[in-house]
A = this chain, B = another copy of it.
Amino acid sequence: MTKTNTPLLLRALDGETLERPPVWFMRQAGRYLPEYRELRAKAPDFIAFCLNPEMAAEATLQPMRRLPYDASIVFADILLIPRALGQEVWFEAGEGPKLGALPDLDRLAGEIEASTERLSPVGETLERVRAALEPERALIGFAGAPWTVATYMIEGGSSDRAKARTFAYQRPAEMDRLLDILVQASVRYLAMQANAGAQVLKLFESWAEGLPEDLFERLVCKPHRAILEGLDELGVSVPVIGFPRGAGSLVEHYADTVGVEAVALDTAVSAAMGKRVQERCVIQGALDPLLLRAGGSALDRRVDELLEQWGDGPYIFNLGHGILPDTPIPHVERVLKRITDS
């Protein structure tokens, strides 16, 4: 691959400070696009949609056709892993995910190898997307991080994570074992994605929020390190973006101890903290999705501010959280133009 068509995202992840940062948005494939809503309506349920390579590839590619994103992220869901490990997972309209009872840990552990096989449609999605995507646009694979996935498995759905955190305090050995099972399944799943064409991998730790430092180290940093080591052992060498959402002041500890190529920052990270993290690795973030939806001159000003505060170091422009379903497409177009023109 010549320098000319090396994707901008890969150059940024390599530590280059570029003329303008690469840009992509979390949930850029999704409900704010009418063509997505139309496609989604054809699938019997959300899990079937994610595991149908033709539909998932189409959903992944839809935003790439109409918007100048520098990277594409495979359309999938962080709860595909617990499902592949044998826990029941289903989605109820307007209610978010639901999960059946947490299976016995021995039983879960026995399903690790088979889980990767069950997730092979995601690999096929990646192959289809890679074949259709221009070479200068990067392709990202991902997994939910172990603690976040464990909170859903323990709580049975979206929650305040109080039950899962209490589980971590009161049954530490079982919690560590559950995280280890998820680490092993994630390593295999992510390696499969890299082999299928993912050039970057992202770990979504959506619920790092509120964890005291000792738990943050044990439940977030340690499993993330184990995943990186596992990928290393399998010879997978694609860059990894870690997203400890809500880590607050602990994001510095994360950057110091985990070893990801890039740390994705949420909406609440201060300019100063972002710079501290940027001294250690590439940063990504952190426009407020509510501001993207609201639009107006406040949006323009904030985009400029982010470019100014972090743009002189290795930086990937993104939101601090997923794009909201009712975001007007012209707002997205306006921000992308502002960045690609910058």
Contact = CB atoms under 8 A, between A and B. Distances in A.
Given A166-B293, A166-B294, A170-B296, A213 B270 contact: yes
A134 to B, nearest CB: 32
A268 B305 contact: no
Contacts of A172: 298
A299 B78 CA distance: 32
A267 B170 contact: no
Contacts of A271: 213
Contact of A294 (B170, B216, B291, B293): B170
A280 interface: no
A169 B294 contact: yes
Contacts of A209: 209, 246, 268
Interface magnitude class on chain A: 35 or more
B298 A169 contact: yes
Interface in A210-266: 210-216, 246-253, 266
Nearest to A211: B268
A162 interface: yes
B212 A267 contact: yes
A163 B269 CA distance: 21
B320 A212 contact: yes
Nearest to A208: B268
Contact of A246 (B248, B273, B294): B248
By Cβ-Cβ distance, the 8 closest A-B pairs, closest first, are: A248-B248, A249-B273, A169-B294, A249-B270, A212-B288, A249-B249, A212-B267, A250-B270
